[in-house]
Amino acid sequence: MEVQIFTFLISFTFILNLMLAITIVFLERRDAPATWAWILVLFFIPLLGFILYLTLGQNLTRKRLFKWDDIKKIGIDELIQKQKKALQSYSYCFRDDTIEEHRDLIYLQLSNNDAVLTEDNQVEIFIDGRDKFDALLKDIQQAKNHIHLQYYIFRNDNLGSSILNELVKKAKEGVKVRVLYDDMGSRGLRKRAFKQLIEAGGEVEAFFPSKIPLINLRLNYRNHRKLVIIDGFIGYIGGFNVGDEYLGLNSKFGYWRDTHLRICGKAVHAIQTRFILDWNQASNSQDITYSENYFPNYKPFGQVSMQIVSSGPDSEWEQIKNGYIKMISSAKHSIFIQTPYFIPDASLLDALRIAALSGKDVRIMIPNKPDHMFVYWATYSYVGELLKAGAKIFIYDNGFIHAKMIVVDESIASVGTANIDVRSFRLNFEVNAFIYHTETAQKLSTIFHNDMKLSHELTFEQYKERSLLIRFKESISRLLSPIL
């Protein structure tokens, strides 16, 4: 009897895995590496593989998750068509002549992502958490109309409490306060932490919350964006989340090195639009409707040109990744990249390999310590390939580097929330600022060079001498990298 039950379970598991494999291959139509990775998981660890697939592997239906009926009122559709026509006819007059050579990249993001080009922005760069949050708290304290705040991770610790206290004060003053956090990224955070804010008139929502108390089985398709909009005039975008570790107070990681932007100018309208779309998707109470308070008219703040580009698993195109590839392929001299995780797909890896083999100065900076073990060793594997092609790899030693930055030819740059990995390009909702401004790009390049002084270079000779244990870790992690 026991033998029959065991045989039945084995047969049932095999049939279940076979049906699941057929689904992955023929119905979901994933890319080949991800397909093979899931098939290996299903057949080598049958029961656990099935559970992992249910929580990690299912494709998000490519439906329109984000709807905002009022979007036409801010004139985006009309402006997109006007800019596309001008770019196609070469009649667009750029404020900075150096932007002209990046016309194709601008058109790519405009036509595939509705990313309007704005040219009147002022940008402040933060690389230290204390500086960033000091500035944010000051801006919150000076808010007059509304505060829209969105983070992947929002912790109920000292930093989170200090921000919440200021938000409560502003809500009591009549400022409209909205907070959106990701339910998985902020796991452990409960709505009751926002009780005072809600009682003061603020609104709080979680993105893709769990339907089961305390457990969220939807590990993929998380909202990894970090945005703040204040009065429609000031916007924040970048890598810092809200938590004490981002102030360097976590002994495991030490100093936290990240990159964040404070933006004033018309690009804030694009950041505001992204927040509203995300909020309306998550809102269980009341959607945000059009108001001139959210999109105020104002005189130009500066001369920085940029596009705010979003991507996510609901999109047909991998917009941020495509933007990276276009930037890399346009490089004439140099490509500087900072990323905590480096797990590129074949297209991005080829673009970087070709650039390095072509004599371009390709430099990639990664952390010296992991926060996700498999991701760390997969990263080590991929940078090893680029070392063969002549790229330079730098290991940041002064704590943990979490910056998501790329600078090309010290003339264009991208800073935002997207890591260079499959999860950011295909599974998470991300947002980046693509910057077309030589002075800002040079500032970011200088930051990179300063970080090099706090790093050590990993040479190809050193990489070849790695131990058999490390080679084994790399091989396993790389095999799983399409689904990490």
Active site residues: 224, 226, 231, 402, 404, 409
User: Strands (DSSP E) along 312-391, which ranges?
Assistant: 334-338, 342-343, 361-367
The string over 109-141, giving b where at least 16 C-beta atoms fall within 10 Å of a residue's C-beta and e elsewhere, is bbebbbbbbbbbbbbbbbbbbeebbebbeebbe
Distances (CA, A) of 219 to 54, 125, 177, 284: 10, 31, 28, 21
Question: Do 99 and 436 touch, CB atoms closer than 8 A?
Answer: yes
Host H or E run for residue 309:
strand 304-311
Question: Do 129 and 253 touch, CB atoms closer than 8 A?
Answer: no
Give the separation between CA 249 and CA 178, rounded to whole angstroms.
27
Question: Do 288 and 294 touch, CB atoms closer than 8 A?
Answer: yes
Question: Do 227 and 275 touch, CB atoms closer than 8 A?
Answer: yes
R_g of the chain, CA atoms, integer Å: 23
